[in-house]
């Protein structure tokens, strides 16, 4: 579960409307939610942190979807409790500006043309491009209510709601671990999560999903190997998310010391959210997607001196802080990996299935948006 008590819901509402950077999160399998907030009076330049601050940072971290040799991350420090944030809000003005834009929902015909354009540019079976699209839904539900309902449905995921001046409000429940580092033991864990189908399917995985998954697994192992003393990958498993399941490898490693500042920009985004080769995939994404991914496809996570856990930011949505009065507008992201074997119809349905849980919560009435309908 992800049960937000009344005090935390009140703190979320005040932090959003008064511009106090905060995060509420729960690690996979844990019903306990943690609230942290930064004091904006101490950080007048915002929440951006330097690459050197990543190692040992104490708080909540996230970045945007980007391919860059230098890590650009943002952090919410553990400075305020929920009661302290509520008290601080009384002395701050309300937020009246947003850093992001609500996009129009992607229509099926536009998406079909993008899939055909990208698959025509894929020149071999070793290449992959992750194409995403957006669904924008007006809803009377406030962000705290959405987070509580959505995150409670997915207890095995890393669940969160956060807001900063640089990001606006993001809500998500991600099943995909990017990197876990235990500094005392030197244990490193990553996850290859790629390949999607209905959870009831007991047949062997098809060629397209298997190839897509192997591209991601090989990439992560290849990136970790120079940073670690040893790297191993256990047998393949399955990870469920609602009515769908994913092919999964947990990749385990050992390292006497890990350089997050150098490793994270090489590891993220993995081919599970970008593609491979990464530069070519990024170029095709930029050419075809008609919106900015912002934080979708980047990472989110928590860090301390003892350990750091980062997750891929997916199964998520954002909304603007000030837009909410009546109604809120939520923009949801969903995507899938394209290979030379991809068909627009099946890729469209796969992306919709990944959004279905959150769409159903936001839609209020099932007639607002069919999770698997064609939009024009």
Strands 230-232 and 244-254: antiparallel
- On whether residue 196 sits in a domain, the answer given is yes
- Is 160 a member of any domain? yes
Any domain includes 44: yes
Q: Which residues contact 235 (CB under 8 A, 6 or more apart)?
A: none
| Res 282 pLDDT > 90 | yes
Q: Is residue 189 part of a domain?
A: yes
> CATH no. for residue 321?
3.60.120.10
Residue 323 pLDDT > 60, yes or no?
Answer: no
What DSSP assignment string belongs to 79-102? -B-HHHHHHHHTTSPPP---SS-P
pLDDT single digits (tens) 203-248: 899 998 999 999 999 999 999 999 999 999 877 888 999 889 999 9
Q: How many domains does the chain have?
A: 1
| Residue 289 lies inside a defined structural domain of this protein | no
Residue 374 in any domain: the answer is no
Give the whole-angstrom CA distance, residue 301 versus residue 4: 19
**pLDDT tens, 146-168?**
999 999 999 999 999 999 988 99
Contact criterion met (CB below 8 Å) for 176 and 247: no
Cα dihedral 270, 120, 196, 227, rounded to 10, equals: -20
> Is 373's pLDDT higher than 50?
no
The answer to whether position 250 is within a domain reads yes
What pTM was estimated for this model as a whole? 0.93
pLDDT at 190 over 70: yes
Does 124 reside within a domain?
no
Domain that holds residue 155: 6-105+140-277+298-331
Is residue 35 very low, low, confident or very high in pLDDT (cuts 50, 70, 90)? very high
Q: Encoding tokens for residue 207?
A: 């060629």
Q: Give the pLDDT confidence of 334-355 residue by residue, as tens digits.
A: 999 999 989 999 999 999 999 9
pLDDT over 90 (residue 358): yes
How far apart are alpha carbons 312 and 177 in whole angstroms?
6
- Whether 189 shows a pLDDT value over 80: the answer reads yes
Among 192, 190, 188, smallest CA distance to 229 is for: 188
Is the pLDDT reported for residue 193 higher than 50? yes
pLDDT attached to residue 324 = 45
Distance, in Å, from the CA atom of 272 to the CA atom of 367, rounded to the nearest integer, reads 32
Mean pLDDT over all residues of the chain? 91
Q: Are 284 and 55 in contact (CB under 8 A)?
A: no
């Amino acid at each position: 579960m992800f049960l937000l008590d009344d005090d935390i819901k009140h703190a979320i509402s005040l932090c959003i409307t008064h511009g106090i950077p905060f995060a509420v999160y729960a690690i996979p399998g844990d019903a306990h939610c943690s609230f942290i907030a930064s004091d904006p009076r101490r950080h007048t330049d915002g929440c951006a942190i330097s690459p050197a601050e990543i190692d040992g940072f104490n708080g909540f971290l996230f970045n945007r979807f980007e391919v860059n040799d230098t890590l650009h991350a943002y952090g919410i420090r553990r400075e305020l409790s929920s009661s302290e944030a509520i008290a601080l809000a009384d002395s701050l003005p309300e937020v009246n500006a947003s850093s992001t834009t609500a996009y129009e929902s992607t229509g099926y015909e536009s998406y079909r043309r993008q899939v055909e354009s990208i698959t025509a540019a894929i020149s071999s079976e070793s290449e992959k491009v992750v194409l995403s699209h957006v669904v924008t839904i007006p809803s009377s539900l406030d962000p705290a209510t959405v987070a509580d309902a959505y995150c409670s449905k997915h207890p095995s995921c890393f669940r969160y709601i956060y807001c900063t001046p640089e990001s606006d409000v993001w809500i998500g429940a991600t099943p995909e671990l990017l990197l876990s580092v235990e500094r005392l033991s030197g244990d490193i864990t990553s996850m290859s999560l790629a390949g999607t189908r209905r959870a009831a399917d007991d047949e062997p995985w098809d060629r397209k999903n298997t190839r897509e998954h192997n591209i991601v697994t090989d990439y992560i192992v290849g990136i970790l190997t120079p940073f670690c003393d040893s790297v191993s990958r256990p047998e393949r498993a399955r990870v469920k998310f609602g009515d769908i399941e994913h092919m999964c490898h947990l990749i385990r490693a050992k390292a006497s010391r890990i350089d997050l500042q150098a490793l994270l920009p090489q590891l993220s985004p993995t081919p599970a959210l970008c593609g491979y080769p990464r530069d070519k995939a990024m170029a095709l994404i930029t050419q075809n997607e008609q919106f900015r991914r912002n934080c979708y496809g980047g990472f989110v996570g928590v860090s301390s001196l003892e350990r750091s856990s980062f997750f891929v930011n997916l199964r998520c949505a954002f909304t603007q802080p000030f837009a909410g009065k009546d109604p809120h507008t939520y923009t949801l992201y969903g995507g899938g990996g394209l290979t030379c074997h991809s068909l627009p119809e099946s890729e469209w349905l796969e992306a919709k299935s990944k959004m279905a849980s959150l769409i159903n919560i936001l839609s209020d009435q099932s007639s607002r948006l069919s999770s698997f309908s064609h939009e024009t």
